[in-house]
Amino acid sequence: MNLAVFASGVGSNFLAIAKAVKSGRLKAKLVLLVCDNPKAPVLSKAERLKVKAALVNRKDFASKRDFEAKIISLLKENKVNFIVMAGYMRMLSSDFVRAYKNRIINIHPSLLPSFKGSQGIRDAFNHGARITGVTVHFVDEEMDNGPIILQRAVEINGAETLKSLEGKIHKAEHKLYPEAIRLILQGKVKIKGRRVRIKPV
């Protein structure tokens, strides 16, 4: 399977996935990084790992439709079968999601459906939650809403700071995301409506 990772920032999850592919833990090819931010550190990570990177800046396009049409043309050109969102800070249009139905996944830094949105870690911390975590889910037309594949809980202890919690969440992400992708590659993830069933390993 040919994977594309979409990212807008540092790229720590991109790095975790790339390492899992390189080590053989993921039986797939990471053929493309799609990035919308010319200043994103993930671009240098892709260069270092010799992963093809495509910088597609929304400012260069008159409309979201044209912007996404360019991305889709790149996906087709590189024969991408599956899309992995890894800190990509743009909502995909309904047309894009439908074109790759059940072939786009995302990782979110909370136990969905709690603390949706771009500040999931901060929101859980400020709320005073004692348990938060990480969720891998399929992408649908709504934000942080698709069927859940895997979750992992992370405890927020009494001495926690926002920075320490961010570190714990990222550590959990880097383990859970490759595991979810591995299950998908092995055909163990079955989706029906809003329900996901994981076949026994």
| Residues annotated catalytic, as ranges | 108
Name residue, tokens 């360019």. 70
Q: How many CB atoms lie within 10 A of CB 85?
A: 22
Biggest alpha carbon–alpha carbon distance for the chain: 50
Q: At what angle do helices 162-185 and 120-127 cross, to 10 degrees?
A: 130
State the Cα–Cα distance between residues 167 and 60, nearest whole angstrom: 34
- 82, β-bridge pairs: 3
State the Cα–Cα distance between residues 27 and 25, nearest whole angstrom: 6
In this structure, are residues 198 and 189 in contact, taking their beta carbons and an 8 Å threshold?
yes
One-letter amino acid at 161 equals: T
Burial call 159-185: b when 16+ CB within 10 Å, e when fewer:
eeeeeebeebbbebbbebbbbbbbbbe
